A and B are shown apart, each in its own frame.
Chain A
Amino acid sequence: MKSLTRRLALTAGLVLPLAALPAFAQTTLKVRPFGDLRTLDPMTTSDYMVRNHAYMVYDTLFAQDAKGLIKPQMAESFTTSPDGLTWTFVLREGLKFHDNAPVTSADVVASLKRWGARDGLGQQLMAHTASLTATDPKTITLVLKDRWGLVLDALGKPSSMLPVIMPERIAATPANQNITDATGSGPFMLVKEQWSPGSKIVYAKAPTYQPRKEAPDGLSGGKVANVDRVEWLIMPDAQTALNALQAGEIDVFEEMPPDMISLVKGNAKITVSKLAALQGVFRMNQSQPPFNNPKLRQAMLRLVDQEQAVRAYVDDKALYTVCPSFYMCDSPYFTDAAWPKPDLAAAKKLIAESGYKGEKIVVLDATETALSPQTLVVSQLMRDAGLNVDYQAMDWGTLSSRRTSKNPVEQGGWSTFASGPAAPDMTEPVGHLALRSNCENAWFGWPCDEAIEKLRAEFTMASDLDARKAIARKIQERAVETVPYLPVGQFWLVRGQLASLKGLLSPGVPVYWNVSKGR
């Protein structure tokens, strides 16, 4: 036994120093992202991992700052004609793609046209566009058919799908076909030969990138890459990621489950910070009974106490917000107009008035998602109110397929599911994922309301912020009656990081410019 111990110690002595040797003499930031990169095309999917990849390798003409204002990013300057119909954008000097080719206005035009064929806001911009042309190698001219108030909001859109700029040769790929070449002009470039799907994605600092001179501000400003490489190491198991962070094997752990925060409290080597805000969305299928009945949806709005629901996921008051609004609480369009307080008696009364006769309500729950605890709470509240709940647990792959069905519940249909769109997708009425009430074209659940759609159209034409706020308020007042969905609280996803990291930004989207670590 003694000799076995000695041999083990000798082996350990031989092996461990070798393992401790650094593989590269350069600075590598190791990140456990919240998911995996499935495709490279940020214009064909709204997948947030693809959006995050896009922020690594691409840049945008405009970007949103920390206050939510849209600032020039690749653009040096822009002007508008007095009638607001002609917009001229001038590119910054020295912009280059990763293949060393200069960024020209032709690349911008081709990229925006491709984006405009897929993205919802992009499609609206293109519908209002008379022409989009490259006037000279540095100048782009956009001529609108009519005065449309969201040009900058569209071009500086912070979340999926991003209006990123790619070389014209790549942007020429049809918009319904994925690109496979990730050449961009952003602060990092994809090292494609080291990309191992499901395992590792590697980015290297782009020597061609020209950051803006300003300090980083939200998603705008100088995007200076302070590390040579960023490795996204895919780790499906959160406990494994926590172990790796504690052992210093990774630098950043995106989307650390809230119940793990207490495990690293008191560990001086690890800090926890806010990563991105989400809104819990409890969606009801309005194409089928019983939620095609607005009275029943109004009952749901009074039935659910957001605090009760959101605390099932996170119990730290600093990490959740009870927000009596369809908009994010920190949105400029936030309003609590007409919002009812949770009231079980009122909910029961509305259920009775709705004529509900015990029809089965199929609740879909993807148990691996952050919204699963909220789904359990809401399901129980529904049972308490006398609703006939059929709770069905499944994985996200199954749920995302089931929710496309418009069949009755007896034929594989559904009544509710929960999802957690990111804050940028829930801030204002036009880009708002779950407020849209354009029937067949709305998000799964298909709310249908002409009044809301008319107000959303008015919003795009409003001339200033105050006018827009007034319209956003009217939309909320109407939505409290139609209840396109049920907000079940806003909460922060958190990230664990080594305390030794400097300059890690929190603009609501995980980005890795500005961050540095000791060599």
Chain B
Amino acid sequence: MTSYVLRRLAATVPVLAFVGLFVFFLLRLTPGDPAILIAGDQATTEQIASIRTQLGLDRPLAEQLFTWVGQLAQGNLGRSVFSDMEVTRLIGMRIEPTAMLALVAILMALAIALPLGTLSALNAGSRIDRMVMAFAMVGFSSPVFVVAFLLVYVFALSLGWFPTQGYVPLAEGLLPCLNSLVLPGLALAMLYAALLARVTRASLLEILAEDFVRTAHAKGLKPRLVVLRHALKNAAIPVVTVVGVGIAALLGGVVVTETVFNIPGLGRLTTDAILRRDYPVVQGLILVFSLVYVTVNLLVDLSYVLFDPRIRY
């Protein structure tokens, strides 16, 4: 197990190196120049050139790459070309809102999807099943921003229950923080819940047809216990896999959700940095996202051991 984890961790290095190089060159190929955006609409060519020199953007590409790699080796992601803040600090300031939003969204999605998926599987073919699947279809096909604006209109503007936008940091209290995340969390959770509900239903239906479930029923175990203790646990592997894969979809959804709800997280930082061609920030963010994705996949793989003792690493 330990050697497997170490091997997997070692494998992240070439992945991150490839992603880093890819992003570095992709950004340089993208039209746009941060120096021009910093200088403003009325800047002269000399002023733009002066800013470019100051930022080191006039140096050869190879030199810029070596400088960046050298900084990375020391754990330094560089400085934002706009605010001159360290990229690590900028990312650090934005991690909490995104992490909280993602956590709330995942918990909401699981809270919605697992009961609905189970209910649907246990009542396969019934009206309940059709209603749950209809919900899943609508949830899966509704764009995040549409769901978000509908939620804001109903629960913030009409009923006034929640704020329309903004994020309250954890330091100001757990409840105010959660209050600010209810609508964005729900908007983000809808797509995820729809996907999970369908996977839970399909996986559970398959397990419910297995011999060991029939045996459990035959030995007189209560149906509730059969489902909770035997069926759901065995149906968990595909669900956990989708939870893991869904993190990527969630990171994509975070960009839109954070914009609509004005949450100062990593998603907003990413769009702002791309629009401004803030190369060091975009590079740092992509590395962080890759690291998160690789780590989540590793955790998902390791969690299989908990659900299926036959799996060994």
**Residues in chain A within 8 A of chain B (CB atoms):** 12, 14-16, 18-19, 23, 36, 38-39, 44-48, 50, 118, 120, 160, 176-178, 180, 196-200, 233-237, 239-240, 243-244, 246-247, 249, 394-398, 400-402, 404, 419, 421, 425, 433, 440-441, 443
Contacts and interface: CB of A to CB of B under 8 A. Distances in A.
A173 to B, nearest CB: 12
Contacts of B166: 233, 244, 249
B175 A18 contact: yes
Given A197-B85, A249-B164, A398-B32, A441 B175 contact: no
Nearest to B42: A46
B180 A19 contact: yes
A401 B161 CA distance: 45
Contacts of A419: 41
A345 to B, nearest CB: 35
Nearest to A394: B31
Given A12-B161, A197-B80, 7 more contacts: A18-B176, A47-B38, A48-B40, A198-B269, A237-B262, A249-B165, A397-B37
Interface in B155-184: 156-157, 160-166, 168, 172-173, 175-176, 178-180
Nearest to B153: A243
Contacts of B83: 38-39, 197
B311 interface: no
B264 A198 contact: yes
A281 B32 CA distance: 21
A441 B46 CA distance: 9
> For this complex, into which size category does the number of interface residues on chain B fall?
35 or more
Q: Could you say which of B179, B271, B276 has the most chain A C-beta atoms within 10 Å of its C-beta?
A: B179
Contacts of B269: 198
Contacts of A440: 45
B54 A15 contact: no
B82 A247 contact: no
Contacts of B163: 19, 247, 249
A395 B179 contact: no
Contacts of B249: none
24 contacts: A19-B168, A38-B38, A39-B38, A44-B47, A45-B38, A45-B43, A47-B40, A48-B40, A160-B40, A160-B42, A197-B90, A198-B272, A236-B271, A237-B259, A239-B149, A244-B165, A247-B163, A395-B275, A396-B37, A398-B30, A401-B32, A404-B48, A441-B44, A443-B42
A18 B175 CA distance: 8
B131 interface: no
Contacts of B43: 45-46
Interface in B51-107: 51, 54, 80, 82-85, 90, 93
Q: Could you say which of B43, B156, B269, B277 has the most chain A C-beta atoms within 10 Å of its C-beta?
A: B43
Nearest to A14: B175
B40 A401 contact: no
Contacts of A36: 272
A16 to B, nearest CB: 7
B268 A244 contact: no
